[in-house]
Structures are given as structure tokens and as C-alpha cells.
Chain A
Amino acid sequence: MRDLHGYSKDCMYALQHRIVRALDRHAVPLRARRGLVSQIASDLLGSQGFTWDEALYSPEVSDELDRMVDQFLSEADEQLTLNFDRLPRNETADGTVSRSPASEPPDTRLPGAQSRAVPDRSRLRVAESIFSLVELFVPSRISAEEIGDALEVLDDLAADCAPSWKLHLKIASTVFWLGVNVVREIVTAALGKRPA
């Protein structure tokens, strides 16, 4: 039998991290939040080969999920009450304006999540080392854009508890396409014409 119990602890943290990030990026009405939690949990478990029903039959997972959902929804009610008249102006209900793109994003995680490390960031150190090396040979604009985006994808994969081979595949494909795109840019500049 697969080890759902051992798997559950890390992924409950990952689940909470993903929910908060989803709420941070999108305005989610209160009534839709329980559905959002279920959907994210289902996706997360599915990515590891577990089924939603299988997870719910595991007392440890289902109890932890229920506890976390209740805690999350009660905390969210207090912190993220949205005023739909103000949303188009990017303002929250308490009158504070959302962060601007140029400023450092605040830590919007719930109090419980703030005391925990973001899951599996250590798995990205290899990627950051490889990308730092590659960056030496790539124009800064291209590397900042493509490597930065790749790191965001890798961060999401790590938060989803994706298997290592997926991370390695993403790193390899990023390096490959980065090389291809740099050569393409050089050829385009040398020929002085617009690519098709």
C-alpha cells in the first residue's frame, strides 16, 4: 500500500501554501473558497498518483484536511473579506490598496503558514546553481526573463511535491531552449531581418 500517511504531512503544508498563493493572485469570493481548497487538494494528490477518494479514506489525510480547511476559512474570513465594489480599483475592503508591481510583496501567508518553511525550496538549489552558470553566457535580458519564469514554474512544481524527474526535466528543457533562443537571436541580429 502506498504511504499516504508519510506523504500527507509535507503536502498539507504544500496545500496551504498553494491556497494562499492562489488567493494572493486572484480575488476569490468566500463562497468559492471551499471549492478552491478541494480543487487544489485534488490536483495536488492527483499529481502524485493518489485519488481524492483514496485520500479521504485515509483518516490522517481527511482529518488534517478538514482541520486545515476550517482554520483557513475562519482566518481568511477575517483577513480577506472582499468588497466587490472596490475590487475593480484593486482595493481591499479595509481600504488598503493592494501592492504595486514594483514593491516587495508582503508575506500574505496565514499566521500558521508563516511559521513554517515554504516546502521543498531546497530542491531548487541545483536549478539555481545551473542557471547561475548558464547566465554567464546569455544576454541579461534573455536570462532574466526565461530563467526567472522557469524558476517560478519550478517553485510551483516543488510546492506541488512534484517528483524530482519533473524538476530535472524542466531544468534541462530550460537550458536547451535558452540555448536555442540565444542562437536564434544572434542569427536574427546578424541577418538584420525579422524572424518569421
Chain B
Amino acid sequence: MDTPVTAKTALLQALVSGDGYGIELIERVRSRTHGRVRLHQGSVYPALRSLERERLIESYEGEAPTERGGRPRRYYRLTAEGLRAAQDDRLAAAGLFGDPEWVPA
């Protein structure tokens, strides 16, 4: 079954709680949705780069731990425009998913 949100939406929401890098954001989305939304390598990096081109997020290089073979982590953070987009997404999702008359079967 498809996940209820796109990779870009999920990543924007994950970045609201703080900066993060690729696999950290994948894990953040997985844990916050209790495994319901699982992002993978084929969608995360293109989505991050697309969000950066849209100026909703920006990136910077972080530490380069030994297990990465000296390659620096690339951290992402929300821009002001990205934060507004994340809040808009959240309001839209609340309108869609937050039906007060819905009762689990």
C-alpha cells in the first residue's frame, strides 16, 4: 500500500524538529510514523536536492566520521520559506486526516 505522504512532505516535517542528514532523516520519519512511512535511497536524495533547489531547505557539510571513510555528512535545515511550507502541509493534512466524525471500525 502507498504511504500517505510524499517523500518531500515527510522530509519537510522531519526537518521541523531539527537539522538532519540522509539516513538520519529516513530513520526519523520511520520512527515518528511507527514504521508506516519508509523512505528509501531512491527517493530521499532526489527529494532533498529538489527541496534545496526550491529553496525550502539549505544544506551544509558536517563532521566526517571514520565509518564514512572521511566523507562529510551533508546536513539539511529548513529555510523560513520551508518552515512556512511545512506548516501549510501540516494544516492541509490536519484538514484531511483530522475528521472528528471518523471512528475506527
A interface residues with partner B (beta carbon < 8 Å): 101-105, 128, 131, 141-153, 155, 173-174, 177, 180-181, 184-185, 194-195
In the complex, the chain B residue whose C-beta lies closest to that of A176 is B42
B interface residues with partner A (beta carbon < 8 Å): 21-23, 41-42, 45-46, 49-50, 53-54, 62-65, 67-69, 71-75
Contact partner of A151 (CB less than 8 A), chosen from B45, B53, B63, B71, is B71
Taking chain A's interface residues, is the majority helix, strand, or loop, or is none over half, making it mixed?
helix
Residues in chain A near residue B21, CB distance under 8 A: 145, 149
Q: Please, could you name 26 A-B residue pairs with CB atoms under 8 Å apart, sorted by A? A: A101-B62, A101-B75, A102-B62, A104-B63, A105-B63, A131-B69, A141-B74, A144-B71, A144-B72, A144-B74, A145-B73, A145-B74, A146-B22, A147-B71, A148-B72, A148-B73, A149-B21, A149-B68, A151-B67, A151-B68, A151-B69, A152-B67, A153-B23, A173-B41, A181-B46, A194-B50
Residues in chain B near residue A144, CB distance under 8 A: 71-72, 74
Q: How far is the CA of A101 from the CA of B73 in the complex (A)?
A: 10
- Taking a contact as CB atoms under 8 Å apart, the answer to whether A149 and B23 are in contact is yes
Q: How far is the CA of A174 from the CA of B50 in the complex (A)?
A: 20
Known: A102-B62, A148-B73. A180 touches B42 (CB 8 A): yes
